[in-house]
């Protein structure tokens, strides 16, 4: 009987001791969590108890803390990127506006008809640049709205591409650029949006004009149900392009920063292509930058 009392007493003492240790440990956890809440720290919870259940709980809590740290760092990075972008956009928009004002003042005072036409052309060019920048920003804001949808219908890809190419005739002439264009004569139809496709093609051609080096190759072909478009241009070795970031919003290479670019063109291209169930990828090899777009032929064409 005495042995039974002793054994029960030892069990009771052991349980009380374990309970006391758990209480101390909870108090320590509470202290650590309070410190982590009040101060900027990357510390994780530590444990002095060697227990499977406690260790599992620590692992789960530390996993949540690590994920929270990652989310916070991502938020801070995006916030800083957004602030930098606002600063850059403000500067990029102010630059053509300032030059517009300057050339307009000159135009008002100029009497010679030939010089007036010269300054009028410059002003028209600055207005076009500003218009393209504002349209890119406007399209970006629309794409950020999750409810924004394109009006999808059957459209002919050949004609939209050709019309877009001809709309850049003057810019190509000014750069003495003679593009190599290969477009199948067979009409190609997809389920898409005409305005969105024009915007995509305009972005890619404009991107080639900004970054290109005396070359531009555009190819449109179809094999079975797969439609492929390729925009390829040489890039001067002095331009540094991160191929893994070209579709990131506000990404600008060294050449873009000097050409009143918003860094939104390829981001918008990817978003619009995706909304039309297409795919777009980029590659850079041996100084040639290539954009590959893939669509599926319209099923209605079969009927």
Is the four-CA dihedral 190, 193, 194, 200 of positive or negative sign? negative
pLDDT, the chain, mean = 81
Query: What is the DSSP pairing of strand 288-296 with strand 279-285?
Result: antiparallel
Domain parsing of the chain, residue ranges: 74-144, 153-296
Could you identify the residue written with the tokens 């076009």?
128
Q: In the chain, count of helices (H) and strands (E)?
A: 7, 7
Compute the distance between CA of residue 296 and CA of residue 116 in angstroms, rounded to an integer.
Answer: 50
Lowest mean pLDDT among 49-58, 72-81, 140-149: 49-58
Q: What is the pLDDT of residue 110?
A: 86
Query: What is the DSSP pairing of strand 226-234 with strand 217-223?
Result: antiparallel
Q: What is the pLDDT of residue 273?
A: 95
Q: What is the pLDDT of residue 259?
A: 53
From 284, 280, 253, 258, select the one nearest 268 (Cα to Cα). 280
CB 178 within 8 A of CB 144: no
CB 247 within 8 A of CB 238: no
Helix (H) or strand (E) holding 293: strand 288-296
Is 116 a residue whose pLDDT tops 80? yes
Is 256 a residue whose pLDDT tops 60? no
Output the pTM of the full model. Answer: 0.65
Region 8-17: mean pLDDT is: 66
74-144: which CATH topology? Answer: Helix Hairpins (1.10.287)
pLDDT tens, position by position, 275-302: 999 999 999 888 889 999 999 998 754 4
Compute the distance between CA of residue 253 and CA of residue 275 in angstroms, rounded to an integer.
Answer: 26
CB 156 within 8 A of CB 189: yes
CA angle 57, 60, 66 (to 5 degrees): 140
Compute the distance between CA of residue 129 and CA of residue 93 in angstroms, rounded to an integer.
Answer: 9
HSE of 11, CA atoms in CB hemisphere, 13 A: 6
| 201 CB-contact burial (10 Å; exposed 0-12 / middle 13-18 / buried 19+) | buried
pLDDT cut 90: percent of the chain above it: 25
Q: What is the pLDDT of residue 271?
A: 92
pLDDT tens, position by position, 67-82: 888 888 888 887 887 7
Could you identify the residue written with the tokens 């620590």?
58
Region 87-103: mean pLDDT is: 75
| 157 CB-contact burial (10 Å; exposed 0-12 / middle 13-18 / buried 19+) | buried
Going by pLDDT thresholds of 50, 70 and 90, the confidence category of residue 172 is confident
**Comparing 72 with 200, which gets the higher pLDDT?**
200
Region 183-188: mean pLDDT is: 90
Compute the distance between CA of residue 181 and CA of residue 187 in angstroms, rounded to an integer.
Answer: 16
Q: Domain 153-296: give its CATH code.
A: 3.30.565.10
């Amino acid at each position: 009987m005495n042995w039974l009392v002793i054994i029960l007493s030892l069990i009771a003492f052991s349980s009380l001791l374990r309970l006391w240790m758990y209480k101390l440990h909870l108090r320590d956890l509470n202290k650590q969590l309070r410190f982590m809440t009040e101060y900027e720290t990357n510390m994780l919870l530590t444990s002095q108890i060697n227990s499977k259940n406690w260790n599992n709980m620590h692992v789960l809590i530390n996993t949540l803390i690590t994920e929270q740290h990652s989310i916070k760092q991502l938020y801070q990075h995006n916030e800083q990127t957004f602030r930098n972008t606002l600063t850059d956009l403000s500067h990029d928009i102010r630059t053509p506006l300032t030059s517009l004002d300057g050339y307009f003042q000159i135009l008002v005072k100029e009497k010679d008809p030939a010089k007036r036409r010269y300054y009028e052309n410059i002003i028209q060019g600055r207005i076009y640049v500003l218009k393209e920048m504002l349209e890119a920003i406007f399209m970006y804001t629309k794409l950020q709205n999750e409810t924004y949808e394109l009006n999808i219908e059957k459209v002919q890809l050949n004609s939209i591409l050709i019309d877009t190419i001809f709309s850049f005739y003057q810019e190509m002439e000014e750069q003495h650029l003679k593009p190599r264009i290969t477009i199948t004569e067979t009409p190609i139809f997809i389920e898409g949006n005409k305005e969105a496709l024009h915007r995509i093609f305009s972005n890619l051609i404009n991107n080639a004009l900004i970054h290109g080096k005396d070359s531009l190759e555009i190819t449109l072909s179809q094999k079975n149900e797969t439609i492929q478009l390729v925009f390829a241009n040489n890039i001067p070795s002095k331009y540094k392009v991160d191929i893994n970031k070209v579709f990131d919003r506000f990404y600008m290479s060294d050449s873009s920063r000097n050409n009143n670019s918003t860094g939104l063109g390829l981001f918008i291209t990817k978003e619009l292509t995706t909304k039309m169930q297409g795919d777009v990828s980029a590659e850079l090899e041996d100084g040639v930058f290539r954009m590959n777009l893939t669509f599926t032929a319209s099923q209605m064409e079969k009927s």
